[in-house]
Amino acid sequence: MRTYEVAFIAAPTMTPEELDAFIAQMQSVVEGKGGKVVKVDNWGKKPLAYKIKRFRDGYYVILTLEADGAIITELERRFRVADHVIRFLSVRIDEDLKRSEKMKAARQRKAVSKPVPAVPKAGEFESAPPAAPIA
Amino acid sequence: MPAPKRFSVKRKRVCKFCAEKISYIDFKDGKLLSHFIPERGKILPRRISGVCSVHQRQLSEAIKRARHMAILPFVAD
């Protein structure tokens, strides 16, 4: 199982109810194939940076999924078939998140270990302030 | 006091993402990305922004994703 972020833009001609129904349908597709929807983020209607299919705005929806490649393929197929989806993008994020966590942990380790050798050093400068760094 | 540098108009700054400890640049954060988009809509080179190479690569990927999702423009004028 991998973590994906699937974002799509729905046409502004949809009603919010239709959009909710569509999101629910996509959720059932994911769950029917053994995936899990972690988060549904509905941004609502937002202006587009440029026109897509003559629309100037659209509903942004971001789904965070625990899924595998086959589920993403199926979702993208459905997005292509659905007329009211004007743009979509799927990004695999588990590796990026893992790396991000690793970097965070490394920074924390650094922050913990750093003050220890710095303490005796600070004592040396009790009488005289440290010389200004050479620019 | 060091002698004034002759050529540099802008001081080279530290990487914003390193300073703020951002380790994953999200394409959905249009507000953050727009700092690296000059008026024309191009990606700001890192020699100007001072972003480190690791983050510049992540940044350019994020900007390209944001453009695809119409969060940022391809060309602005």
Query: How far is B45 from chain A, CA to nearest CA, in Å?
Result: 22
Name the minimum distance, in Å, from the CA of B70 to any CA of chain A: 5
Angle at the Cα of A6 (from A4 to A10), degrees rounded to 5? 170
Quick check: B65 and A48 CB within 8 A? no
Looking at residue A71, its pLDDT comes to 92
Q: What torsion do the CA atoms of A69, A27, A3, A14 make, to the nearest 10 degrees?
A: 100
Q: What pLDDT does A50 receive?
A: 92
- Position B13 pLDDT exceeds 60: yes
- The SS3 call for residue A73 is helix
Q: Return the residue in A91, A95, A101, A110 with the most chain B beta carbons within 10 A, the one to mutate for interface testing.
A: A91
Which of A30-34, A65-69, B1-5, B40-44 has the least mean pLDDT? B1-5
Query: CA A47, B59, B20: angle at the middle one, nearest 5?
Result: 100
Residue type, A19: L
Residue ranges per domain, chain B?
Answer: 16-68
Residue B24, pLDDT above cutoff 90: no
CB-nearest to B70 from A49, A103, A104 is: A49
Per DSSP, helices labelled H in chain B are 16-19, 30-33, 46-49, 53-68
Average pLDDT of the residues in A47-73: 92
Q: Which of A51, A96, A99 to mutate to test the interface with B (most CBs of B within 10 A)?
A: A96
Domains and CATH numbers, chain A: 2-96 (3.30.70.60)
Is the pLDDT score of A116 beyond 60?
no
> Is residue B5 pLDDT above 60, yes or no?
no
pTM: 0.77
Per-residue pLDDT of A8-37, as tens digits, reads: 999 999 999 999 999 999 999 999 999 999
CATH of domain B16-68: 4.10.640.10
Residue among B28, B29, B21, B30 nearest B55 (CA): B21
The pLDDT mean for chain A works out to: 85
Separation of alpha carbons A43 and A77, rounded Å? 23
Q: Is the pLDDT of residue B55 over 70?
A: yes
Q: What is the pLDDT of residue B15?
A: 87
Q: Do B21 and A107 touch (CB under 8 A)?
A: yes
